[in-house]
Amino acid sequence: MSASHTVLYRKLRPKNFSDVLGQEHIVKTLINQLKSNRLAHAYLFCGTRGCGKTSAAKLLSRAVNCENPREGEPCNACPVCLEILRDASLNVSEINAADYTGVDSVRGIIEESAYPPSSGNFRVYIIDEAHMLSASAFNALLKTLEEPPGYVIFILATTDPQKIPATIHSRCQRFDFKRISGAVMFDAVRGYAAAEGIKIEDEALRFIISASDGAMRDCLSILEQCASFYFGEEISLEKTLELLGASDISVFFALAEAVLKADMGECMSLIDGQACLGRDISGFARQALSHFRNLLAAKVQQNGNISVSASGETIALLREQAARLPMSLIIRGIEAFSELLGNLRYAASERVMLEAACVALCRPEAAGPARAGGAPQAGEEQAEQIGELKAQLEELRKAVRALSEERGKPAEKAAGPPEKKKAADKRKLRPPGSAELKKIAEGWAGFTGSFSDGSKELPIKELLGKSRAAPDGGRLLIIVEDGVETLVRARASAYSAVILPLMAEKFGVSPETEIEYVGASEYKTRFDEPAKPRERTAEEIARNAEGLLGIKVELKD
Q: What is the pLDDT of residues 172-204, one digit of tens each?
A: 999 999 988 888 889 999 999 999 899 999 889
> 384 in a domain, yes or no?
no
Q: Taking a C-beta distance cutoff of 8 angstroms, is the pair 175, 26 a contact?
A: yes
Residue 112: φ, ψ to 5°: -65, -40
Q: Identify the CATH number of the domain in which residue 92 sits.
A: 3.40.50.300
Q: Alpha-carbon distance 24 to 53, whole Å?
A: 13
Strand order in the sheet with 42-46: 92-96, 123-128, 152-158, 42-46, 173-176
Q: Identify the CATH number of the domain in which residue 319 sits.
A: 1.20.272.10
190 vs 411, residue with greater confidence:
190
Reported as a pLDDT band with limits 50, 70 and 90, residue 387 is low
- Residues 529-548 have pLDDT tens digits of 444 445 556 666 666 666 55
Q: Taking a C-beta distance cutoff of 8 angstroms, is the pair 30, 17 a contact?
A: yes
Domain boundary among 317, 345, 372: 372
**336 and 286 assigned to the same domain:** yes
Asked if the model's pLDDT at residue 244 lies above 60, the reply is yes
Which spans in 491-537 are helix H?
492-507, 520-524
Spell out the residues 6+ positions from residue 341 whose beta carbon is closer than 8 angstroms to its own.
282, 285, 286, 289
> 396 in a domain, yes or no?
no
> 82 in a domain, yes or no?
yes
**26 and 167 assigned to the same domain:** yes
**119 and 138 assigned to the same domain:** yes
**432 and 519 assigned to the same domain:** yes
> 379 in a domain, yes or no?
no
Mean pLDDT of 318-325: 89
For helices 249-260 and 312-324, the axis angle rounded to 10 degrees is 10
Q: Alpha-carbon distance 137 to 114, whole Å?
A: 18
Burial 93-111 (b: 16+ CB within 10 A, else e): bbbebeebbebebbeebee
**189 and 294 assigned to the same domain:** no
The residues pairing with 515 across neighbouring beta strands, listed in sequence order, are 476
**444 and 521 assigned to the same domain:** yes
pLDDT for position 424:
43
Mean pLDDT of 461-469: 75
Mean pLDDT of 48-55: 90
CA atoms within 13 A of residue 27's CA, in its CB half-sphere? 17
Q: Alpha-carbon distance 363 to 115, whole Å?
A: 70
**204 and 270 assigned to the same domain:** no
**515 and 425 assigned to the same domain:** yes
Reported as a pLDDT band with limits 50, 70 and 90, residue 382 is low
- The alpha carbon of 521 is separated from its chain's Cα centroid by a whole number of angstroms, namely 44
Q: Alpha-carbon distance 65 to 370, whole Å?
A: 61
pLDDT for position 550:
60
**Which range marks the domain in which residue 459 is found?**
414-528
- The alpha carbon of 475 is separated from its chain's Cα centroid by a whole number of angstroms, namely 55
How many domains is the chain built from?
A: 4
- The alpha carbon of 539 is separated from its chain's Cα centroid by a whole number of angstroms, namely 52
Domain boundary among 152, 176, 200: 176
Q: Alpha-carbon distance 181 to 216, whole Å?
A: 10
Asked if the model's pLDDT at residue 305 lies above 80, the reply is no
**424 and 511 assigned to the same domain:** yes
**46 and 159 assigned to the same domain:** yes
Residue 450: φ, ψ to 5°: -90, 0
**113 and 232 assigned to the same domain:** no
pLDDT for position 245:
82
Q: Alpha-carbon distance 22 to 19, whole Å?
A: 10
Q: Identify the CATH number of the domain in which residue 238 sits.
A: 1.10.8.60
Mean pLDDT of 209-218: 86
> 383 in a domain, yes or no?
no
378 vs 418, residue with greater confidence:
418
- Residues 14-36 have pLDDT tens digits of 999 989 998 999 999 999 999 99
**14 and 120 assigned to the same domain:** yes
